[in-house]
Structure 1
Amino acid sequence: MNAAQELDQDALHNSEALPTRRPHPVIIAASVTARGGLLWLPVAGLMALSGREKAAKRALSAAAVAMPLGHLVSLVVHRRRPPAASIPARAALPEHPDSSSFPSKHAVTAAAFGTATALAAPEAAVVVLPLVLLVAYSRLRTRVHWPTDVLGGLAIGALVALGQSALKRG
């Protein structure tokens, strides 16, 4: 078993980081509101209202590119979701996804939005990046993804935002 498989298997065990009991409502809300990238619309609105319109536009455009890219990758990489449908952590979500687990599209979109924000308005990233991490954790905590799905999603989203930034400079 390689290191990635060990990390994924360890995630199924009950631990302080990923208990099997029902998650806190904030964790559930983060997962639910981030579906389809909806969480990032009001966040971008608040950024724009605070005078960071350019950063908000870049963050939304990075997320808009990253989300379909994540869906394309999942069409190529068919991976089963963790077998956790019967545990309270998984049952807490109103959704019961059965699409390919890799990558986490929530993480892809969140990382693209967060990375673009950090590049365009580092002061706004202080607020946005904890939300990115909360969304990523929520996908693990509710057992809808393996850790490598979330890590892969974060990497893809960050790369999209970095690529977007390079194109804007170039």
Structure 2
Amino acid sequence: MGELDEEAMHDSEVLPAERPNPLVIAAGITARGGVLWLVVAGLLALAGRPATAKRALLAAAVALPIGHLTGLAVPRRRPRTSMPARTALPEHPDSSSFPSKHAVTAAAFGTATALVDRKAAAFVVPLVLLVAYSRLRTRVHWPSDVLGGLLIGAAVALVLTRV
């Protein structure tokens, strides 16, 4: 897996080395600590979907500490790079790279939304994917960190749906 992660981090058409689009940078910054999902939940509630907003926020709120605890249990160094893609971020996180907490929270919110409200999911899922991509594009996570985060977040939302 480490070799695949290393290969994916090189300059390519999918993950260019130059500075990312401001929208990609903004997705990563606003999703920090789940702030983006608070705003999205507010928009869902204003759009007449308060139950969806509550369920999605609950999933994200449960998933975030699970992501942090997993990071403590599975310490992993972050990719080291000085590419413009990485230096575009105002933050330079040094916590464990696995899992991507941004991806954990995004996937929990998006999966919970998709399980209860397909129309709202059409709006939310692209944001989830943008946040996940932002973590790769800005080189703060290995691809397996983001994939692991997406899987953990989705699992949390699925478990909560059954509880």
Supply the AA of the counterpart residue of 1:19.
P
Report matched runs for 1:14-163 at 5 Å. Answer: 14-84=11-81, 86-163=82-159
Mapped to 2, the partners of 1:63 and 1:144 lie a distance apart of 21
CA drift at 1:103: 0.1
Mapped to 1, the partners of 2:94 and 2:122 lie a distance apart of 34
Q: Percentage identity across aligned positions?
A: 71
CA drift at 1:117: 0.3
Aligned length: 163
Mapped to 2, the partners of 1:12 and 1:146 lie a distance apart of 7
CA drift at 1:7: 2.2
3-state SS of 2:66 partner: helix
Mapped to 2, the partners of 1:151 and 1:6 lie a distance apart of 15
Report the TM-score when normalising by structure 1: 0.94
3-state SS of 2:136 partner: helix
CA drift at 1:50: 1.1
Mapped to 1, the partners of 2:104 and 2:4 lie a distance apart of 20
CA drift at 1:42: 1.1
CA drift at 1:6: 3.0
Mapped to 2, the partners of 1:64 and 1:106 lie a distance apart of 12
CA RMSD of aligned residues (A): 0.6
CA drift at 1:48: 0.8
Deviations 1:18-58, CA, capped at 9 Å, x for gaps: 01100000000000000000000110011111111101000
Report the TM-score when normalising by structure 2: 0.98
Supply the AA of the counterpart residue of 1:123.
K
Q: Please, which runs of 5 or more residues in structure 1 have no aligned partner? A: none
Q: Please, which runs of 5 or more residues in structure 2 have no aligned partner? A: none
Deviations 1:109-154, CA, capped at 9 Å, x for gaps: 0000000000111110001000000000000000000000000000
3-state SS of 1:22 partner: coil
